[in-house]
Amino acid sequence: MLSSRRSSMEVIADILRLGEAGKTEIMYSANMSFAQLQKYLKFMLELKLIDKVTVGNPVVTYRVTKKGLRLLRSIDSILEILELKKEEDF
């Protein structure tokens, strides 16, 4: 049996599934610490999987890009093939 811990790929997919959200929402929805959140946001911004959007002062949200959506579809396909994706997620 595989570990119940999520892979980095699954964490990235969880963040991308949010579409657009602020740091707090991402942190709680993806079930991660603030330090992990910072690391993932930096990585995903560098790869242009998400964009930083200023919606007020100082309100910032992070929005999935077209490239991020393509990656999410690919991850979901891989998880489905590996049967790691729960049926209720469809």
The residue segments making up the domain with residue 75 are 8-89
Q: Residue holding tokens 């811990």?
A: 5
Sheet containing 50-54, strands listed edge to edge, beginning at the edge strand earlier in sequence: 20-21, 60-64, 50-54
In a domain, 66, yes or no: yes
In a domain, 3, yes or no: no
Phi first, then psi, for residue 34 (nearest 5°) are -65, -40
**Total domains present in the chain:** 1
Helix (H, G, I), strand (E, B) or coil at 63: strand
C-alpha R_g of the chain? 13
* Average pLDDT of every residue of the chain: 87
- The string of pLDDT tens digits covering residues 12-66 is 999 999 999 999 999 999 899 999 999 999 999 999 999 999 888 778 999 999 9
